[in-house]
Structure 1
């Protein structure tokens, strides 16, 4: 009996030892994420779901991008609403001189619905419905009462490059609402922003609530039915497109969007265009959604 008791005690000790190891490992993992209460926060790991993220950090924090943002911020917004350039931004040697201090935040993912999902040909699964199209960064503070968003596009062969600067920061604000286990994406045609939790789509702004017909949430499958009804017959190459009713509803940036003539529009229609070294402010023509 003593041998049996000794064996049972040994087993209990072994289990306790393994439990302590698990607890210690869990605590260590937790501390590596949140850090000690009074210790300096550890550097966040690079997001695993964004390819070449270090290249994106290098780009968005580069002197060239900062100078471009400064040129954008120091130029008054145009009053015209036509499609032609209305004001040229001087290419000064020190574009940030005289502006309040600001930093550009680390970029976050800007996800969109895919053309296949909108057409109804893709399965209503997150991997088929949502695609990373750009990265967006906002400023650490308002500058002369204005906010701005820096947009990065993927570079062919890897890496990221500046795609433009947009007035306002709503894209970056909404994109930053993604949490562990959730995915935030946009339906850009209506400027709706949504959060995907497992297979449930929830609206994040008024446009998205309208996009869900006022519902508080829908399944990803039901959301696909809604966007299919809106866009399936209006995608590039459709009769709606080829007959010239509009340019179609392109859901992905094209080569033209990321060439040397770059234009990124905002909700207000004001954007920075970089064309052959000259920088101009434009107001984008509004397109009909009918």
Structure 2
């Protein structure tokens, strides 16, 4: 009788080799497919960067910072000297000019970045020490591509009721946008506006980004989000809107909104002091009316 064991072993070996080769080919094919899906076809033009998923109506924000009206507002701001009288100094009116950008060096306004703040619920201790409950998006900030006559400025956008974004203020300097730009994949940058502290949140760990934040953490290099909540609760929980501290007029109370949003909706104003802000509620209303008219 013919011995077929050698033949069977050979066939099984060949089958296993073919199977391994097939699996290897599949892995290579899947890897190549994944790589191509990231890089795109060879020699093809790079696709346009996707809009940030964590910022609603981001295209409206882009349209706002690229608009002529916002650029003119920045130029008027840059033409107005910064007051040196400190906080509580006189308020200056921004002069209206036909061509506010005339003779100014060329500049562009960068794409907006998220400006996140701690939430009142997190401060009060009613919200859990979780990123989704502790931090919220309040504004967008855009700095200039270059200094203009030795100055920089930050465009601040506020959400429009019903959707979209509008110009809220133009602030001297670019620190807000600089810190907001430190956010990376897997991290979140936010501010504690009462002390102008900036922090980076990595999972559930809070790390300071500037001296004010380090002082706010008592000199520590990092704390848990839960421990940070205890710190801000001790600082502000008794000063929230509606508190005795607020109702007696000692302060405006804790608020997550920028002072620029509370400006009178009439004439653009330049307030004195550090962190100078140009309140442009009136300009925002004009932009909103123009958008409605163009839509019609």
- For the criterion TM > 0.5, the same-fold answer is yes
Pair 1:214 & 2:241 matched: no
Instruction: Check whether the contact 1:108–1:136 (CA below 8 A) recurs between aligned residues.
Output: yes
Greater Rg over alpha carbons, structure = 2
Q: 1:73-152 to 2 correspondence within 5 Å?
A: 73-81=78-86, 83=88, 86-152=91-157
Pair 1:270 & 2:280 matched: no
Change (3 A) 1:259 1:77: closer
Pair 1:25 & 2:33 matched: yes
Change (3 A) 1:52 1:271: same
How many residue pairs get aligned? The number is 275
Secondary structure at the counterpart of residue 233 of structure 1: helix
- Determine which structure has the larger helix proportion and give its number: 2
Instruction: Check whether the contact 1:192–1:207 (CA below 8 A) recurs between aligned residues.
Output: yes
Instruction: Check whether the contact 2:87–2:273 (CA below 8 A) recurs between aligned residues.
Output: no
Q: Deviations over 1:32-90 (max 9, x none)?
A: 5xx98x99765321111111111100001100000000000011122334647543222
Q: Aligned residue for 2:294?
A: none
Q: Deviations over 1:237-289 (max 9, x none)?
A: 111111222111112459963873577979714221236469xxxxxxxxxxx
Pair 1:63 & 2:63 matched: no
Q: Deviations over 1:118-167 (max 9, x none)?
A: 11110000000000000000000100010100000111111111001000
User: C-alpha separation between the residues in 2 aligned to 1:266 and 1:171?
Assistant: 18
Query: Shift in Å at residue 26 of structure 1?
Result: 3.4
User: C-alpha separation between the residues in 2 aligned to 1:83 and 1:159?
Assistant: 33
User: C-alpha separation between the residues in 2 aligned to 1:181 and 1:42?
Assistant: 23
In terms of mean alpha carbon deviation, does 205-214 or 69-78 score higher? 69-78
In terms of mean alpha carbon deviation, does 41-50 or 60-69 score higher? 41-50
Q: Aligned residue for 2:188?
A: 183
User: C-alpha separation between the residues in 1 aligned to 2:248 and 2:18?
Assistant: 81
Change (3 A) 1:156 1:264: farther
Secondary structure at the counterpart of residue 13 of structure 1: helix
Instruction: Check whether the contact 1:168–1:266 (CA below 8 A) recurs between aligned residues.
Output: no
TM-score (norm 1): 0.86
TM-score (norm 2): 0.85
User: C-alpha separation between the residues in 2 aligned to 1:92 and 1:142?
Assistant: 21
Instruction: Check whether the contact 1:164–1:273 (CA below 8 A) recurs between aligned residues.
Output: yes
User: C-alpha separation between the residues in 2 aligned to 1:176 and 1:86?
Assistant: 31
Q: Deviations over 1:215-245 (max 9, x none)?
A: 0001111111111111111111111111222
User: C-alpha separation between the residues in 1 aligned to 2:269 and 2:232?
Assistant: 26
Q: Aligned residue for 1:7?
A: 15
Instruction: Check whether the contact 1:201–1:217 (CA below 8 A) recurs between aligned residues.
Output: yes
User: C-alpha separation between the residues in 2 aligned to 1:132 and 1:275?
Assistant: 20
Q: Which runs of 5+ in 1 are unaligned?
A: 279-290
Q: Which runs of 5+ in 2 are unaligned?
A: 1-7, 285-296
